Amino acid sequence: MADGASFVYNTEPPTRGKVVIVTTCGELDVELWPKETPMACRNFIQLCLEGYYDNNIFHRIVQNFMVQTGDPTGTGEGGESIYGKPFKNEVHSRLRFRHRGIIATANSGKNDNGSQFFITLGECKWLKGQHTIFGKLTGKTIYNLVNIANYETDDNDRPLHPPKILRTDVLLNPFDDIIPRVKEEKKVAPKKKKKRKKKLNLLSFDDQEDGEDVVEFQSKKKEKSAHALLKDDKTLSTTPAVEEDKAQETDINKDGEAASRIREKLKRKNKKKKSEKKADDGGGKKTAVDLEIAKLRADVYGERDEEPEYKPKKESALDAMLMGYKDKKVKKGSKKEREEKTLSRLDSFLADLQSVKATSGSGKRE
Please tell me the predicted confidence (pLDDT) of residue 315: 63
> What pLDDT, in 10s, does the model give residues 197-248?
655 555 555 554 444 444 444 444 555 555 555 555 556 556 655 555 555 6
Give CA separation, 79 vs 52, 120, 135, 249, in Å: 9, 20, 19, 78
Active site residue 65: yes
Average pLDDT of span 319-348 = 73
Active site residue 202: no
> What pLDDT, in 10s, does the model give residues 154-169?
999 999 999 999 999 9
pTM of the predicted model as reported, rounded to 2 decimal places: 0.51
Give CA separation, 174 vs 31, 33, 54, 177, 178, in Å: 11, 9, 21, 9, 9
Q: Among the options 46, 68, 113, 116, which is catalytic?
A: 68
Q: Among the options 60, 98, 99, 100, which is catalytic?
A: 60
Q: Give yes or no for residue 29 having a pLDDT over 90.
A: yes
Active site residue 253: no
Please tell me the predicted confidence (pLDDT) of residue 214: 46
Active site residue 60: yes
DSSP state of 155: T
Query: pLDDT category, 259, cuts 50, 70, 90?
Result: confident
Active site residue 346: no
Q: Rounded to 5 degrees, what are φ and ψ at 21?
A: -100, 115
Percent of the chain scoring above 90 in pLDDT: 44
DSSP state of 139: G
Q: Among the options 58, 87, 117, 118, which is catalytic?
A: 118
CA proximity to 69, closest of 83, 82, 54, 81: 54
CA proximity to 61, closest of 157, 160, 145, 143: 157
Q: Among the options 16, 92, 127, 130, which is catalytic?
A: 127
